[in-house]
Structure 1
Amino acid sequence: MSNHKDLQKLSAAGLLISLGIIYGDIGTSPLYVFKAIIGTEHSSLSQQISQTLVLGGVSLIFWTLTLQTTLKYVVITLRADNKGEGGIFSLFSLVRRKAKWLIIPAVVGGCALLADGIITPPITISSAIEGLTVYYPNLPTVQIVIAIIAGLFIIQQFGTSLVGKAFGPIMFLWFTMMGVLGIGYIIQMPWILKAINPYYAYQLLTSNYNAFIILGAVFLCTTGAEALYSDLGHCGRDNIRISWIYVKVCLILNYMGQAVWLLQREGKVVDLAMNNPFYKIMPEWFLIFGIGIATVAAIIASQALISGSFTLIAEAVRLNLWPKVKINYPSEQKGQLYVPSVNWLLCAGCIGVVLLFQHSARMEAAYGLSITVAMLMTTILVSKFLQRKKAPTYIIASFLVVYLLIEGTFLLGNLVKFVHGGWFTLTIGLVLFLVMWTWHTARKIKNRYVKFIEVDDYFNIIKEMSEDESVPKYASQLVYLTSANFNSEIESKIIYSILQKQPKRADVYWLVHVDVVDEPYKREYEVDFLVPGKLIRIDFKLGFRVEQQINLLFRKVVEELVKNGEVDITSRYKSLNKHKIVGDFRFVVIEKVLSRSHNLSFYEKFIMFIYTQLKKVSLSEERNFGLDLSFVTVEKVPLMLTSPDSVELHRV
């Protein structure tokens, strides 16, 4: 824990690590942005190189990076840290008390980010490998890209902290290389610096009938901004802000260098499939090294995105927005996790993208649409955060107006991409949205039918049954997981299970309740002795980033209670008691099954149908809570019962 906090402070190590983790996506965009601006494989878009196009392109890139990445994310959004953690779900946890509908932008944004994770590795790795076609025109790039992607996903299960240590220095080398290459060309045409003037951006957008298509291409230079906020917890705000200055300078220098190379070919139509300006500004002798560094940088960019997807899903599971899935912790490093199901889904998706689009130029057409949606959702949530922080109304209003306008324009520019492949990421995003929305809504429907009763009405009868030797003993210590938020309540199903389903006599009954709180790493518990020595309730308050190992946590609490002499767990069987042998523990998990659904509307029936299918592939409650399966009894109870007075019968 300490080393994690140290990395959040401003330090050379923190700066280096943030270079390695955060800027992969945004840092590899020079590989394809200018190529996308000047024209793509669609012949209607291949444009003659003109001064207006190139200077306007650089100007648009500069102002997009300044307004979108620097101002919105680095300056404003990084303030919205949830006890040091960032990302769309951390932001949602900060503001969800404000309004119920905020769940919608949070879920839409989360799905858009995951969908984007399927297209980022293919486009960055393809762009890097395609540089080799200069040497080997017939190189099977598709096969090489698939092999790299497959390898990348296979190593995830071993944890990436080992590789992670090398990421920082390699990315430092990458950014420095880009800056130096850019300067080499800027010296040849220093007046390129005037492109910083926003007039050139305005001139390009007003004079070119392809303005929206160009905007869609320019947007690719800021696609990694969301990842920058998501990784706040790994590096800390100060490290991100300081390292971004260096990264931005190197990026701008490289874009300007590419612009000079293009201006030297003014008036010509350049075949960009063969001539990527990114590689063209490298000296001949350096090209092979440049491609090597670019490939490693592309792999690092993909790695950062994959890790981000794992964190996103783990948070969604804890916030009850995603089916319970297996989450592994391959290394001791905080925040290092591996979600096998998501890993292989992403792997299949990435390979699918490579096979479907084949070339990076075609992927550019599909890229950026879903990420614009994610950015719009972040804008909505950040405005709510500013409201919570009591920022002046005019600041919140101008923030909303400016960014809804900028991102709305980019969205329109990116909508052109729908037909060229944008449909692919949007379809994936929709499927993910359906899963999250179903899981969230089904839980609300189920909770509607859970009946809570006053627990103190049953104190006496539970106490009497515990001492009634005519009832066979079920377990020494009997533990139930309860969803009742208040100590005074209990589900009627639990009382039914103890007293009626098969009367369960025990020496001590335990009720365990888990509450997921808005602080990421909170770990607290409360104990309430409802009937001293007979009925005890434990409430766990766990952050949305904490692993819910109830088995472990419960044992720890019981050990502390025994140590303090607050509870006695020695077996009550005479032969075992005299030897001070600990009694047995048994967990009972009550699973609510939807048997009759005629009270539900068509929409609710549809939601419950999908929910039932998802439940089949998700982890069971007992596995999700990390319970030892040899001590668990699962009892199925119907969620809804038809009341007998609605049935008419005639006796003859």
Structure 2
Amino acid sequence: MSETATVVHEDSQSKSSGVGLLVAAVGVVYGDIGTSPLYTLKEVFSGHYGVQVNHDGVLGILSLIFWSLIWVVSIKYVLFILRANNQGEGGIMALTALARRAAAPYPHMSKVLVLLGLFGAALFYGDSMITPAISVLSAVEGLQLAFDGIEHWVVPISVIVLVGLFLIQKHGTARIGILFGPVMVLWFVVLGALGIYGILQRPEVLQALNPAWAVQFFVVHPGMGVAILGAVVLALTGAEALYADMGHFGRKPISRAWFILVLPGLVLNYFGQGALILENPEAVRNPFYLLAPNWALLPMVALSTLATIIASQAVISGAFSLTRQAIQLGYVPRMFIQHTSSQEQGQIYIGTVNWALMVGVVLLVIGFESSSALAAAYGVAVTGTMLITTILSSAVVLLLWKIPRWLAIPMLLGFLLVDSLYFAANAPKIFQGGAFPVIAGIALFILMTTWKRGRKIIVERLDETALPLPLFISSLRSQPPHRVQGTAVFLTARTDAVPHALLHNLLHNQVLHEQVVLLTVVSEDSPRVSAGQRFEVEAYGEGFFRVSLHFGFIEEPDVPLALSLCHLVELDFSPMRTTYFLSRETVIPTKRIGMARWRESLFAFLLKNANSNLKYFKLPLNRVIELGTQVEM
């Protein structure tokens, strides 16, 4: 479930070879799902679920894993979900924007879909904390097999590795990112080689390719069959990354990497671990590492740790990218976004998100102490996001696409059934340690909806005292104020009213500039906006102009740069002649109808600590005047 800092733009894709792009996709997209063999079978046979370590039990589990990879990842995500793109962009926020557009004729449905998408995005942050914790813990735990008495060092070593990973984020990952692809290719090759080594010892495990073994497992263990999906889902963690990173690499490289390298490597390794368990039932304590020869144990621990760091890096970077999208769409307060690469636009760093994730990850490692304990809590956020993705994509397919209903509905019902089973199997984990991602998701969902609702209320309150623009301009004709040279740009969300900053400036300074521009920045549901659709300009006379700048939800709203490309004879946006006027609202919680008092206080806190428009829109520091306004909620 991740996006990444290592971005390959469309223009560079054409210059890259197919093999190079495939290798890059392996390194970026498949780190999370690629490290799942470290802990999946160990958790399945840990004793929590009562699965017998015998011939039928092993083959039943292997069949469930194999056909889950085929149905959920290969068919649902690779062959279907990857086609539900928003102008080439994927991920839960891009899909939410697409679903909102599809359901536009049905306002109530559109609102429900947006709320579902927001909750899915909120669950992603919970998953962004669990993934690094469980991945690094499971890799470091391999040291227990090599050295006696090192158990008490596993948690400290894991914490050191993870803290180091978060500390380097602000310096960028471009240099180490070059290693992502080759290392992960080596990782999947080693997975496959170890799997083949194990399968040769007990070739009968290949019988699990027959789905009858999965069906038989459900028939013989009807109650356990559903519950065990709570562990089998660990093999699917990271499937959402296929969709989230589509905008970076395109559908074809991601699909080819899956079928050519990743899927074979994973299946071979799972079957090799299963063969080892059949040969030696005691190996269930850590079948991944015990599958390797003794001489290869320490190299495998080193390679596994490196692979889990790459997987964690992708998740962390995904949190940065998702946050930027949410900011652009108006669901998260504006934060300072630092670019860590002069070439790659997607390599960004958001300090607030980074440190919040680090605190959450360290607390998880210290609190759960082992990958097995974390695995019991894992899966709630993953399956919740998978189910929400299916629901949102169903709206897109049924309302936007032209696929025949007789074909689309059975397929979507199949996806919903499997996702619902996985979610139902993981739901009990909420009361067994899995409450953390749910609580984190609910908290973030409240923050996002409170911010969105609060901004809407502010606009409504300001509208109550707003002066219609035509009336204001007509009053200027009868009583013209003193005009000074230059261009004044007033940022405002309203397109038909006078900004409060303009009224305050006129009231206190008694002057107007020769050119007055009322600027509205519009964030679109699409990821990018073409240069021809960037501007909307309307002249009102008396030197007044209405300008709307449109940006996609993955673009940076650089207002001065965009205005410099606006070639109108009447307007001069040269830096030394342009002054930007901003209105900074201060919220006063009251008993007026709007939000609950505690949400109003929360919104006031978020507004106070949000990054200012000055930095967010990249306005020049020495050409900005901020005027305050108090708003009663």
Q: TM-score, normalised by structure 1?
A: 0.88
Instruction: Give the letter for the 2:116 counterpart.
Output: P
1:543-558 alignment, distance < 5 Å: 543-554=552-563, 556-557=564-565
Q: Is the 8 A contact 2:88 2:250 kept in 1?
A: yes
What CA distance in whole angstroms lies between the structure 1 residues aligned with 2:632 and 2:50?
A: 62
1-structure distance, mates of 2:94, 2:488: 36
State whether structure 2 residue 215 is matched by structure 1 residue 194: no
Q: Which of 442-451 and 61-70 deviates more?
A: 442-451
| Corresponding letter in the other structure for 2:584 | E
Which one of 246, 263, 267 corresponds to residue 248 of structure 1? Answer: 263
In 2: Cα distance, 1:32 partner to 1:597 partner? 52
Residue 120 (structure 2) pairs with residue 109 (structure 1): yes
Q: Does 1:597 align with 2:615?
A: no
Preserved CA contact (<8 Å) 2:501 2:582: no
* Corresponding position: 1:100 with 2:111: yes
Which residue in 1 is equivalent to 2:253? 239
Flag structure 1 segments of 5+ consecutive residues without an equivalent: 571-581, 642-652
| Equivalent residue pairs, number | 609
* Pairing partner for 1:586 from 571, 579, 601: 579
Residue pair 2:120, 2:385 contacting (<8 A) in 1 also: yes
1:229 to 233, 236, 243: 243
- In the TM superposition, residue 467 of structure 1 has moved relative to its aligned partner by 5.8
Bigger CA radius of gyration:
1
**Alignment partner of 1:85: what SS?**
coil
2:99, 2:413 → 1: CA distance?
A: 20
Residue matched to 1:450: 462
The residue number in structure 2 matching 1:376 is: 387
Matched residue, 1:216: 230
Query: 1:466, 1:506 within 8 Å by CA — same for their partners in 2?
Result: no
| Contact 1:533/1:567, CA 8 A, preserved across alignment | no
What's the CA shift for 1:2? 9.2
Match of 1:434 among 416, 430, 446: 446
Q: Aligned runs of 1:154-193 on 2, under 5 Å?
A: 154-193=167-206
Aligned partner (choices 70, 82, 94) of residue 74 of structure 2: 70
- The aligned amino acid for 2:53 is I
Which residue of structure 1 aligns with residue 13 of structure 2? 7
- Partners of 2:179 and 2:347 lie apart in 1 by 16
Q: For residue 84 of structure 1, what is the aligned residue in structure 2?
A: 88
1:616 aligns with 2:608: yes
Tell me how large the CA RMSD over aligned residues is: 2.4
User: For each residue in 1:75-128, what CA deviation from the matched residue of structure 2 results, as whole angstroms up to 9, or x when unmatched?
Assistant: 110001222211011111222121232211110110111110000011111111
CA distance in 1, matches of 2:474, 2:579: 22
CA contact (8 A) 1:527 1:539 kept: yes
The alpha-carbon distance between structure 1 residues 337 and 443, as it changes in their structure 2 partners (threshold 3 A), is same
CA contact 1:465–1:505 (8 Å) conserved in 2: no
- Contact 2:586–2:604 under 8 Å retained in 1: no
Q: Of 531, 550, 570, which residue of structure 2 is paired with 1:541? A: 550
User: Structure 1 residues 228 and 188 mapped into 2: Cα distance closer, same or farther (>3 Å)?
Assistant: same
| Residue 306 of structure 2 is aligned to residue 296 of structure 1 | yes
- Does the 8 A contact of 2:136 with 2:308 survive in 1? yes
Once the two structures are overlaid, the 10-residue window that deviates more, 136-145 or 45-54, is 45-54
Q: Residue 346 of structure 1: which of 337, 340, 357 is its match?
A: 357
CA distance in 2, matches of 1:150, 1:248: 31
- In structure 2, distance between residues paired with 1:47 and 1:196: 19
TM-aligned CA deviation for residue 589 of structure 1: 1.1
Partner residue, 1:578:
none
Q: Cα–Cα, structure 1 residues 27 and 461, in superposed 2: closer, same or farther, change >3 Å?
A: same
Q: 1:95 to 1:497 in 2, by over 3 A?
A: same
For residue 35 of structure 2, the aligned residue among 20, 28, 33 is 28
Deviates more, 1:459-468 or 1:182-191: 459-468
| CA distance, structure 2, for counterparts of residue 596 and residue 615 of structure 1 | 12
Is the 8 Å Cα contact of residues 518 and 543 (structure 1) preserved in structure 2? yes
Opposite residue 636 of structure 1, the aligned amino acid is G
> Percent identity among equivalent residues?
33
CA distance in 1, matches of 2:88, 2:409: 26
Say if 2:469 is the partner of 1:418: no
Q: Which residue of 1 aligns with 2:539?
A: 530
Residues in 2 aligned to 1:568 and 1:13: alpha-carbon distance in whole angstroms: 46
Structure 1: distance between partners of 2:383 and 2:536: 47
- Counterpart of 2:338 in 1: which secondary structure? coil
Q: Contact 2:518 / 2:546 at 8 angstroms: preserved in 1?
A: yes
Q: Secondary structure of 1:26's match?
A: helix
TM-score (norm 2): 0.91
Whether contact under 8 Å (2:234, 2:379) holds in the other structure is: yes
Is 1:258 aligned to 2:273, yes or no? yes
The answer to which of 489-498 and 305-314 deviates more is 489-498
Worse-matched range after superposition: 371-380 or 281-290: 281-290
Cα separation, 2, equivalents of 1:10 and 1:605: 57
* Alpha-carbon separation, structure 2, partners of 1:463 and 1:477: 19
| 2:329 aligned residue | 319
User: How far is 1:257 from its partner?
Assistant: 0.4
The answer on whether the counterparts of 1:4 and 1:334 sit within 8 Å (CA) in structure 2 is: no
Shift of 1:19: 0.5
Q: Does 1:205 align with 2:214?
A: no
Shift of 1:583: 5.8
Closer/same/farther in 2, CA of residues 568 and 385 from structure 1, 3 Å limit: closer
Does structure 1 conserve the Cα–Cα contact (< 8 Å) formed by 2:53 and 2:277? Answer: yes
Residue 605 of structure 1, CA deviation: 3.4
Contact 1:483 1:491 in 2 (8 A): no
Q: What CA deviation, in whole Å up to 9, does each residue of 1:489-533 have, x standing for no partner?
A: 124635533543553322221111111112212254335352457
Identify the residue that residue 574 of structure 1 maps to in structure 2: none
The residue number in structure 1 matching 2:599 is 607
Question: Are 1:466 and 1:505, in contact at CA under 8 Å, matched by a contact in 2?
Answer: no
Once structures 1 and 2 are overlaid, which stretch shifts more, 340-349 or 155-164? 155-164
**Distance in 2 between the 1:385 and 1:491 partners?**
38
8 Å Cα contact 2:91/2:243 also seen in 1: yes
CA offset at residue 312 of structure 1? 0.4
Cα distance, 1:569 vs structure 2? 7.2
Residues 175/271 of structure 1: CA separation in 2 closer, same or farther (3 Å cut): closer
One-letter amino acid of the structure 2 residue matched with residue 221 of structure 1: A
SS at match of 1:96: helix
Look up the SS of the partner of 2:142 in the other structure: helix
Local SS of the residue matching 2:519: strand
Task: Give unmatched runs, 5+ long, in structure 2.
Answer: 1-6, 104-109
Counterpart amino acid of residue 547 in structure 1: E
Give the deviation of 1:320 after TM superposition. 0.4
Aligned partner of 2:372 in structure 1 is: 361
Q: Which amino acid aligns with 1:16?
A: V
Compute the displacement of 1:466 (Å). Answer: 6.1
C-alpha distance in structure 2 between counterparts of 1:544 and 1:532, whole Å: 33
Query: For the residues of structure 1 that align with 2:607 and 2:121, how far apart are their CA atoms?
Result: 21
Would the aligned equivalents of 1:28 and 1:297 in 2 still touch at CA under 8 Å?
Answer: yes
Contact 1:587 1:631 in 2 (8 A): yes
Amino acid at match of 2:241: A
Given residue 216 of structure 1, which amino acid in structure 2 is its aligned partner? G
Q: Aligned to 1:490, what secondary structure does the other structure show? A: coil
Residue type matched to 1:493 in 2? H
Displacement of 1:596: 6.3
Q: Counterpart of 1:355 in structure 2: which amino acid?
A: I
Deviates more, 1:529-538 or 1:364-373: 529-538
Structure 2: how far apart are the matches of 1:151 and 1:462? 61
AA paired with 1:515? V
